[in-house]
């Protein structure tokens, strides 16, 4: 039985991953360690709480003593590390939390995991989840490969770059069995409504302004979260120690194309009629400082070495995502409400 520590499993990608793993591999049990920041919601895994192979620990990766206790108690055979501060705009307004969690937190985790691995040969893998934003910005052509030099633009991507280097250093210096995946922008269910796609879906539903940075010409390479989960599990199981794998969905779109698509789709689903279109809600606002122009992933290493390819097409999976938000407004309202934060504090005592 694989005993896996998932960090940040109450967040967007982590919660999708925990569900994916419970549904796709019966040989795993999971401990989800999450400090439940604004972006972490136990509700995102309420359907998994009764599953005997899953347990939740409310705690912080900055708490080294807690990490040591958990490794002793559960004798983990692997770690999949999602926990992070993840939003670029927040990193511009307040970088310190990004330094704390993404750099110091990752250092704690990789160091405790390394000490554990030295005493427990059963420990087989530290998998660090990272971003393509570490590579900086592309012009009109080209794509990031695993050998593209790091050139981060935001405090967020700089902190992720730093954490990648730490994980790599632990592999080279101490031999810790580790892998890193750097993926492009994810979308899908349970994403906190501050990132482009869920923010736009909800603002269209609620007839609020749709803030598009600059001229909306920036390009992202979109990856459906379920495709990301299958890639992570493939790399965790079959990837080579010390290697990095880029994960991408092969779906480059300009931001404005996505906003137009969502306006038309949500209007159609909600039966918004009368000649007006939600496109009229678009407001071109001041650009993000240091805004990377374009991201694109060359995922050929993952395809050639491990046989992984995305299974979902962008427009279909985006429509599924829209349907999910339309059907899950209770989740949305809870994660946005202050009262809900009080409920978490009462019901999920911190370890
Ligand atoms: P998220 O913000 O939705 O979730 C992060 C989770 O980490 C939350 O549940 C939060 O409570 C938890 N957390 C934060 N600080 C913590 C701490 N100190 N201790 C314990 N838990 C803590 O993020 P996400 O979008 O799910 O991203 C997950 C990972 O994937 C991150 O490492 C991120 O850098 C990376 N990533 C995300 C994207 C994307 O498009 N969302 C793209 C590339 C890479
Ligand atoms: P975001 O979802 O924040 O992800 P990232 O910054 O990690 O790529 O933003 C995706 C793109 O959408 C990015 O180019 C910034 C842009 N954007 C807007 O135009 N308006 C918004 O309100 C947000 C949140 C993002």
Choose one of 195, 214, 256, 293 to mutate for the ligand 2 pocket test, by most ligand atoms within 8 angstroms of C-beta: 195
d(CA 208, CA 67): 43
Is residue 140 a part of any domain in this protein? yes
Instruction: Give domain status of residue 343, yes or no.
Output: no
Label residue 272 by pLDDT band (50, 70, 90): confident
Residue 110 CA, distance from chain mean position:
19
Reported confidence tier of residue 346, pLDDT bands at 50, 70, 90: confident
Quickly count: other Cβ atoms within 10 Å of residue 27's Cβ: 8
Q: What is residue 140's predicted lDDT score, i.e. its pLDDT?
A: 97
Cα torsion angle, 322, 324, 326, 330, sign: negative
The mean pLDDT value for 174-202 works out to 98
Tell me the CA–centroid distance for residue 129 and ligand 2, in Å.
20
| Domain with 149 in it | 2-190+225-249+291-313
Check if 135 has its Cβ closer than 6 Å to any atom of ligand 1: no
The 10 Å Cβ neighbour count of residue 7 is 28
Rounded distance from Cα 69 to ligand 2 centre (Å): 38
Residue 343 has pLDDT above 80, yes or no: no
Length of the chain: 351
78: enclosing H helix or E strand: strand 78-81
Span 154-175, pLDDT tens digits = 999 999 999 999 999 999 999 9
- In the numeric block, the tokens 């694989």 are attached to 2
131 ligand 1 Cβ < 6 A: yes
Nearest-atom index, ligand 1, CA of 37: 11
User: Relative to the CA of 255, which ligand 2 atom is closest?
Assistant: 12
Measured in Å, residue 283 CA sits from the centre of ligand 2 at 14
Residue 195 lies in a domain: no
Q: Whose CA is nearest to atom 22 of ligand 2?
A: 211
Q: Which atom of ligand 2 is nearest to the CA of 133?
A: 7
CATH number of the domain within which 56 lies: 3.40.50.720
Question: Rounded mean pLDDT of 72-85?
Answer: 98
pLDDT at 341: 75
Indicate whether 1 pLDDT > 90.
Answer: no
Neighbours of 26 (CB within 10 A): 10
In a domain, 346, yes or no: no
> Over 214-245, what HEC string results?
CCCCCEEECEEHHHHHHHHHHHHHHCCCCCEE
Of residues 91, 88, 126, the one with CA closest to residue 106: 126
Burial of 344 (0-12, 13-18, 19+ CB in 10 A): middle
Task: Give 41-65 pLDDT, tens digit per residue.
Answer: 999 999 999 999 999 999 999 999 9
Which of 255, 257, 290, 293 to mutate for ligand 2's pocket (most ligand atoms within 8 Å of CB)? 255
pLDDT of residue 344: 75
Characterize 128-139 residue by residue with b for buried, 16 or more Cβ atoms within 10 angstroms of its Cβ, and e for exposed.
bbbbbbbbbbbe
Q: Does residue 223 line the site of ligand 1, with CB under 6 A?
A: no
Residues whose CB falls within 8 Å of the CB of residue 252, separated by 6 or more in sequence, listed in order = 219, 220, 221, 222, 294, 296
What average pLDDT does the structure give for the chain?
A: 96
* C-alpha distances in Å from residue 306, one per residue of 80, 230, 235, 239: 18, 12, 8, 7
Tell which residue, 62, 156, 58, 53, has the closest CA to residue 101.
Answer: 62
Q: Which ligand is nearest to the CA of 97?
A: 1
The answer to the question of residue 52 being in a domain is: yes
Q: What is the pLDDT of residues 206-221, one digit of tens each?
A: 999 999 999 999 999 9
d(CA 220, CA 127): 24
Q: 91, 45 in Cβ contact below 8 A?
A: no
**Ligand 2 center to 195 CA (angstroms):** 6
Q: Would 331 be classed as within a structural domain?
A: no
- pLDDT tens, position by position, 291-330: 999 999 999 999 999 999 999 999 999 999 999 999 999 9
Query: How far, in whole angstroms, is CA 350 from its chain's centroid?
Result: 23
**Is there an atom of ligand 1 within 6 Å of 62 CB?**
yes
The DSSP call for residue 63 is -
Any domain includes 284: no
* In-domain check, residue 79: yes
Kindly give the distance from the C-alpha atom of residue 196 to the centroid of ligand 2, in angstroms, as a whole number. 5
The C-alpha torsion from 96 through 100 and 104 to 110, rounded to 10°, is -130
Establish whether residue 102 lines the binding site of ligand 1, counting it when its CB lies within 6 angstroms of any ligand atom: no
Output the pLDDT for position 293: 98
The number of beta carbons lying within 10 Å of the beta carbon of residue 2 is: 18
Is the Cβ–Cβ distance between 22 and 314 less than 8 Å?
Answer: no
Residue with tokens 């050929």: 300
- What domain count does the chain have? 1
């Amino acid at each position: 039985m694989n005993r896996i520590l998932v960090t940040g499993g109450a967040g967007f990608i982590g919660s999708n991953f925990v569900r994916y793993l419970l549904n796709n591999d019966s040989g795993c049990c999971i401990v989800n360690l999450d400090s439940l920041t604004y972006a972490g919601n136990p509700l995102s895994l309420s359907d998994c709480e009764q599953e005997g192979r899953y347990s939740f620990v409310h705690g912080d990766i900055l708490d080294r003593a807690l990490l040591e206790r958990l490794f002793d108690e559960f004798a983990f055979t692997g770690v999949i590390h999602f926990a992070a501060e993840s939003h670029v705009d927040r990193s511009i307004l307040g970088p310190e939390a990004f330094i704390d969690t993404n750099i110091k937190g990752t250092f704690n985790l990789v160091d405790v995991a390394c000490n554990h691995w030295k005493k427990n040969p059963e420990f087989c893998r530290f998998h660090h989840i990272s971003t393509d934003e570490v590579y900086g910005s592309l012009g009109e052509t080209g794509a990031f490969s695993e050998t593209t030099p790091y050139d981060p633009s935001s405090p967020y991507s700089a902190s992720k770059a730093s954490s990648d280097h730490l994980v790599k250093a632990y592999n080279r210096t101490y031999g810790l069995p580790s892998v890193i995946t750097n993926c492009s922008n994810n979308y899908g269910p349970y994403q906190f409504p501050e990132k482009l796609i869920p923010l736009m879906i909800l603002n269209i539903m609620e007839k609020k302004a749709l803030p598009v940075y600059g001229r909306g010409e920036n390009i992202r390479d979109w990856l459906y979260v379920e495709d990301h989960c299958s890639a992570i599990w493939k790399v965790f199981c079959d990837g080579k120690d010390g290697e990095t794998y880029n994960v991408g969905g092969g779906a480059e779109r300009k931001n404005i194309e996505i906003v137009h698509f969502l306006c038309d789709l949500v209007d159609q689903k909600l039966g918004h009629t009368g000649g007006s279109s939600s496109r009229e809600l678009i407001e071109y606002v001041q650009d993000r400082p240091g805004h990377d122009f374009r991201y694109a992933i060359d995922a050929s290493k993952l395809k050639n070495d491990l046989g992984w390819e995305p299974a979902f097409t962008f427009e279909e999976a985006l429509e599924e995502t829209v349907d999910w938000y339309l059907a899950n407004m209770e989740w949305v309202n809870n994660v946005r409400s202050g009262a809900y934060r009080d409920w978490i504090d009462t019901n999920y005592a911190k370890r």
